[in-house]
Structure 1
Amino acid sequence: MTNAQGCLHANRASCLLIMAITLFLGGCAARPGPEVLRTIEARVPGAQTVTIYAATTRERAAENANVFTSGRASQPNYSSFDISVPPNHQPGVIEWPDEEIDPQTSFATVGQSILTRQGFLQKVAASQDSRKDVLIFVHGYNYNFPEALYRLTQMTVDADLDNTPILFAWPSQAAIAGYVADKESVTYSRDALADLLAALARDQRIGTITVFAHSMGGWLTVEALRQLRLSGQNDILDRLTVVLAAPDIDVDVFRAQMQVLGPMTQPMAVLVSPDDQALRVSNRLSRTRMRVGALDITDPAVQQAAREARLAIIDISSLEASDGLNHDRYVRLASFYANRGREGGDGPGPSLRRTGAFVFNTVGATLSSPFSIVGEALAGE
């Protein structure tokens, strides 16, 4: 379907906004395909290698290959990737390869495996030493598999994390006009994410579990949490730390989800930017009210709702965006955390305990990790 055809189902204002963003994105380099994940043997001095474990509800293009389509798999697929990050890596950036993959200048896949579910869980647990943490990244709308895989790699390297990164990849169409199909795909993936969280949380070899979800992945994550609560799996929820970055969730839907989920042992953090242009598109496409990721924390109603729901809603508008839509500010958190450590900042702080509406202060904020935030500069308090 072309963008113009897709717009037949939206009003004229929506079409104009979507087409403007499509033209903006079209001016960028062509998006990567599965070819960038071809394994190469060469390794270079100064490059850093990260192992990413992936669980996905995407279909495999072939049984013997880690090439994933936008189709929905009947059962989740599992894999691992060893990703080399070049010596010239810049924080917040994915150095994509040109026509040839050169680990001296670009991200490169230097190893990969096809895993069974049992093999996946065993490797994740076996990679732990003294119950180190696990980080699960749930990507957002308009992502393909390589983009999600390399984004998690970039954040892991930038933050210098000593944990096990796991990608949960759902079958996004990776297209601006694929919004409705993507929403159906995240709904399709709820059971798989809930099952993954339960399996990890029940393994006592695994330490703390952080779920970091972006955009539409936030809706998927909250739905999986809600499902765990409704099925009485409170012990699973008690082990989770959840961060929603620019969540693409209708505010009324979110309120209803929170009424079922209730307060979590570790308060949920919600990262927002009122100037998020991508969420403006979501508003128009879904014809609903404001998205949670664009909330204005100076609104007293938002501040009160955050306290009542025991949420930490944090405005991260002070962080630089790189996508031109102000939707990817979260990628800067990792490098900010690492820079503070090198510059002798506050360093890792205590677990998040305060709830309410906060402003992320790049001078005075304390991070317990780049994905679990303590806002020390409470807005308006």
Structure 2
Amino acid sequence: MFARQILIPTLLCLALAACSARPPIETLAPVAVQPPADAKLVQIYAATTRQRLADRPYAFGAGRAEGLSYAAFQISVPPGHQPGKIEWPDGPPDPQTDFVTLRQQIMSPAAFADALRGKDAGVFVHGYNHSFQEALFRTAQMGADSHLTASPILFSWPSEGSTAAYLADRDGVDYSRDALTDLLTELARQRSANGRVAILAHSMGARLTMEALRQLRLQGRDDVLARLDVVLAAPDIDIDTFREQARVIGPMQEPITVLVASDDKALAISARVSSGRQRVGSIDIRNPQIRRAMEHSGMRVIDISSIQPDQFAHDRYIDLISLYPQLEATQGATPGTGIRRAGAFIFDSVGMTFDSIGNVLAD
């Protein structure tokens, strides 16, 4: 038992965070500076089940709040920004070289709803081991790189932001299911007749999203589900749990997109922590049984292994989002949703194409 207690945090530390320094919470504090003319300003709206910090009211910590809190942040992205990267300040924030928080506002539910009314909405649900500031700046980075017109919305659940808190984070996900369900219901209600709500959920955030979709179906909220475009990136979900979630959710008007890579080292360790149960995000779609199961689910599963991975091959979705302008130029496709049917596909990062697995295997 003692060896297991030592092994699990060590493995998680090595594979999921590389034990690197974390950005301080002070990066959320608004800085009174004039950004350069060629900086990009990104307005982020946040809905969170985290507690607001009493001594730093501009920030949210790992504590669990009763109900949702709402906020807005304006983030300046530096002129020399590299797609897929977050240029964190190293010392006093400099808008010439760093991501900088320019403005922050705590919002009432009514003000939050008014700010987003009539706009396209894109929700990011972060994964395990994320602080609020990491999730917020990642949302800003993806908003800047994708050039999408949707208003970026961060849904942040109370992750402990610690490599040793995997089980506590899973509890934080379960704690936040009702809140995400309520947020999606409100966003769907605000949209026009043809309006859509896009959701990108990463890793453990995909577990939370699937639970929210399941709850919406059990509540009979087919009207909400019909407005959702869902992408699950490297979902950290046990395959059997995922199968049961998918059974209850049933077919969606827009098939759920699942981004997978069989060489995801972080999910391999998650499986090891979970008594060897494989995670959905690391399935091999070349396996006929797995492929048939995913196709039977009515989802579209896309292997994105061709994207050059980070050290642990768990964050490829970031690079896929950064490729959006090129994808739009070559095929008019939004990452992951340009394929309009269910099935199994492989993304070719060289040709910028989504190829049917049947065609790939035949070549």
Query: What amino acid is aligned across from residue 217 of structure 2 in structure 1?
Result: R
Residues 1:360 and 2:347 are matched in the alignment: yes
Q: CA deviation at 1:340?
A: 4.1
The one-character-per-residue Cα deviations of 1:77-130 (angstroms, maximum 9, x if unpaired) are: 10000000000100110000011100110000111100011111111116x2xx
Residue number in structure 2 paired with 1:369: none
Give the whole-Å Cα distance in 1 for the aligned partners of 2:312 and 2:56: 38
Q: CA deviation at 1:44?
A: 1.4
Query: What amino acid is aligned across from residue 4 of structure 2 in structure 1?
Result: A
Worse-matched range after superposition: 49-58 or 199-208: 199-208
Aligned 1:39-58 pairs, distance under 5 A? 39-42=30-33, 43-58=35-50
Query: What amino acid is aligned across from residue 359 of structure 1 in structure 2?
Result: I
Give the whole-Å Cα distance in 2 for the aligned partners of 1:143 and 1:296: 27
Q: Is the 8 A contact 1:140 1:214 kept in 2?
A: yes
Residue number in structure 1 paired with 2:191: 204
2:289 counterpart SS class: helix
CA change 1:192–1:99 in 2 (3 A) is same
Pairing partner for 1:176 from 155, 160, 163: 163
Give the whole-Å Cα distance in 2 for the aligned partners of 1:13 and 1:69: 27
Pairing partner for 2:289 from 293, 301, 308: 301
CA change 1:15–1:185 in 2 (3 A) is closer
Q: CA deviation at 1:288?
A: 4.7
Give the whole-Å Cα distance in 2 for the aligned partners of 1:148 and 1:268: 23
Query: What amino acid is aligned across from residue 94 of structure 2 in structure 1?
Result: D
Residues 1:338 and 2:319 are matched in the alignment: no
The one-character-per-residue Cα deviations of 1:60-88 (angstroms, maximum 9, x if unpaired) are: 01298221110100111100000000001
2:130 counterpart SS class: coil
Q: CA deviation at 1:12?
A: 7.0
Query: What amino acid is aligned across from residue 188 of structure 2 in structure 1?
Result: A
Aligned 1:211-360 pairs, distance under 5 A? 211-322=199-310, 324-341=311-328, 344-348=329-333, 352-360=339-347
Q: Is the 8 A contact 2:332 2:338 kept in 1?
A: no
Q: CA deviation at 1:11?
A: 6.6
Q: CA deviation at 1:302?
A: 1.3
Query: What amino acid is aligned across from residue 376 of structure 1 in structure 2?
Result: D
Aligned 1:13-92 pairs, distance under 5 A? 14=8, 17-18=11-12, 20-21=14-15, 25-26=18-19, 28=20, 30-42=21-33, 43-62=35-54, 65-92=57-84
What is the percentage of aligned positions where both structures have the same residue? 46
2:48 counterpart SS class: strand
Worse-matched range after superposition: 284-293 or 72-81: 284-293
| Structure 2 unaligned blocks of 5 or more | none
TM-score by length of 2: 0.93
The one-character-per-residue Cα deviations of 1:156-205 (angstroms, maximum 9, x if unpaired) are: 11111111110000000111100000000000000000000001101134
Query: What amino acid is aligned across from residue 18 of structure 1 in structure 2?
Result: L
Q: CA deviation at 1:351?
A: 5.0
Worse-matched range after superposition: 269-278 or 187-196: 269-278
The one-character-per-residue Cα deviations of 1:256-281 (angstroms, maximum 9, x if unpaired) are: 11111111110000001111111122
Give the whole-Å Cα distance in 2 for the aligned partners of 1:9 and 1:261: 40
Query: What amino acid is aligned across from residue 360 of structure 1 in structure 2?
Result: F
2:18 counterpart SS class: helix
Residue number in structure 1 paired with 2:146: 159
Q: What is the number of equivalent residue pairs in this alignment?
A: 356
Q: Is the 8 A contact 2:9 2:164 kept in 1?
A: no
Query: What amino acid is aligned across from residue 36 of structure 1 in structure 2?
Result: T
1:318 counterpart SS class: coil
Q: CA deviation at 1:19?
A: 5.2
Query: What amino acid is aligned across from residue 226 of structure 1 in structure 2?
Result: R
TM-score by length of 1: 0.88
The one-character-per-residue Cα deviations of 1:317-344 (angstroms, maximum 9, x if unpaired) are: 111233x111001000122111344xx4
How much is the aligned-residue C-alpha RMSD, in angstroms?
A: 2.0
Q: CA deviation at 1:242?
A: 0.4
Residues 1:376 and 2:347 are matched in the alignment: no
Q: CA deviation at 1:380?
A: 2.6
Query: What amino acid is aligned across from residue 144 of structure 2 in structure 1?
Result: V
Query: What amino acid is aligned across from residue 248 of structure 2 in structure 1?
Result: V
Q: Is the 8 A contact 2:84 2:141 kept in 1?
A: yes
Give the whole-Å Cα distance in 2 for the aligned partners of 1:288 and 1:256: 19
Query: What amino acid is aligned across from residue 210 of structure 1 in structure 2?
Result: A
| Structure 1 unaligned blocks of 5 or more | 1-6, 367-374
Give the whole-Å Cα distance in 1 for the aligned partners of 2:168 and 2:347: 34
Q: Is the 8 A contact 1:137 1:211 kept in 2?
A: yes
Q: Is the 8 A contact 2:266 2:312 kept in 1?
A: yes
Query: What amino acid is aligned across from residue 162 of structure 2 in structure 1?
Result: A
Give the whole-Å Cα distance in 2 for the aligned partners of 1:243 and 1:202: 20
Residue number in structure 1 paired with 2:105: 113
CA change 1:11–1:296 in 2 (3 A) is farther
Query: What amino acid is aligned across from residue 69 of structure 1 in structure 2?
Result: G
